[in-house]
Chain A
């Protein structure tokens, strides 16, 4: 058989072989495929298709009734020259950096503290209390802190009473406090959740290693630095991904803390997309901003996969 013939056979053979295998698999396992089908269909219809459509819309001009034709890169040119978008991009990156740094390191403290205390009941009690805000909606969280941080609220009243300040601090209505508040409240909301991840990792640490270190004369700080932190390193990577990808899509917190005074500093790209696309119905422009945000997320994901020692962050 000549090479060409063999190559031809192989080429003809491959698809029909695949076809046969698929048919056999379907005949044998069809109930299982039927079980996955709704999920796959859902993702195609409500995730992959909208993503593709977002890309398409970003190259179009849209009116109230639908697309009004292609405009090339016009929307993107607008995105990169619009002051509000660039400001939102900067806010997103600053807020995301803050949330990620604090989110990776701070929750280690309660995790370590939880491991240190006995009895078990006390551990569970603290776990429950610090985990609770993670389950609260952002509307409730902002309500809680609105009451606490308002000019007549607890914090300002206490500070005034102690003579630390002589004017209430306008935490919720100042340019200065906008970003720290978004970052701080996010960190506070998630700290119990992230601490639990670190706590689970610490539970798998062998106590004997720590005991052996004690015999060698290692103090608490040496143990933390040389045993505990290295043990937590892989989990820190996971938390890094979780908080980075989560914080890039900051929406609820920013939207709810946004007002006339804070808009310029807390408006994130996600919030901008909502305002421009849903409220003002400028779909082309908003989609381009959405694609930009998606691009940034994917770029960070790809970039972090290139880092040595980092394999798949999520999942």
Chain B
């Protein structure tokens, strides 16, 4: 773009260096996770397992019963994402109707929500959830972030791109608002819906603060909180029972792999969503 060969060379060097800061820590985690207990406690530059072993994973699943947080998280991800996408799509579609009286009022309300950070209302939110009997339920994690301004606005812009003539001709054929939404708008806004779904799966998978605040029943622990107790070494009961690095990093690997597998095919939709959200 700048037409300078030196600059292009510099660009390659910079991008490779930056990528290495991402790749090397991930490789290091895999190397530690697959090393034996004793090898993982030795200092050294380790990008490949020393004394390859699955000890870390065995300990992780035996002692921490790591499958339970996975099931709990899967429930929150699936139900939470379906509800989130459905509610935000309906609202986004309604707000995309240019002739809807009061449309600006609703759009204003949604914009105002962006100015209140959830972190500042943690305490009253805790009280509200307690009053509604949501504490210590996995459903509380579905309710948190059930809808978001970001999703509504992004979907609204996708719905606005649908040519008016298509919707109008279907309306003349006698289709009601819900039929229009479901049969015509939803299929045409599919890329937007996939983007929001992908983002939401990631957000729900990563849910941490809310789980920390709303849930303290060990049966309902979710993935990130479980991982935190392993990485933070909270599970150790005595000094000869310390959680060794290979167990900690096995936890990180187990949490990271599903995310990377999910990220690979949907990367296109996530990056496009980021660019669209920014241009808006």
Binding site for B on A (CB under 8 A): 21-22, 25, 29, 31-33, 35-36, 38-40, 42-43, 45-51, 53-54, 57, 109-110, 112-117, 126-133, 135-140, 142-148, 150-154, 156-158, 160-161, 168, 188, 191, 193, 196-197, 199-202, 207, 210-211, 214, 219-220, 223-224, 235, 238, 245, 248-249, 251-252, 256, 270, 273-274, 277-278, 283, 286-287, 290-291, 293-294, 297-298, 301, 314-315
Contact = CB atoms under 8 A, between A and B. Distances in A.
Given A116-B2, A132-B263, A210-B2, A39 B153 contact: no
Interface centre among A114, A235, A315 (most CB of B within 10 A): A315
Given A143-B249, A301-B115, 8 more contacts: A46-B144, A113-B14, A130-B22, A147-B29, A210-B1, A294-B116, A298-B115, A314-B115
Contacts of A207: 1
B163 interface: no
B4 interface: yes
Contact of A145 (B8, B25, B97, B208): B25
- A interface SS class: helix
B80 to A, nearest CB: 13
Given A140-B256, A191-B18, A135 B113 contact: no
Given A53-B127, A57-B124, A197 B147 contact: no
Number of chain B interface residues as a range: 35 or more
A252 B209 contact: yes
- B interface SS class: helix
B249 A132 contact: no
A143 B127 CA distance: 32
Interface stretch (B98-106, B189-197, B234-242): B98-106
Given A130-B19, A154-B24, A210-B2, A36 B43 contact: no
Interface in B230-271: 231-232, 245, 248-249, 251-252, 255-256, 259-260, 263, 267, 270-271
B45 A158 contact: yes
B119 interface: yes
B203 to A, nearest CB: 9
Nearest to A198: B278
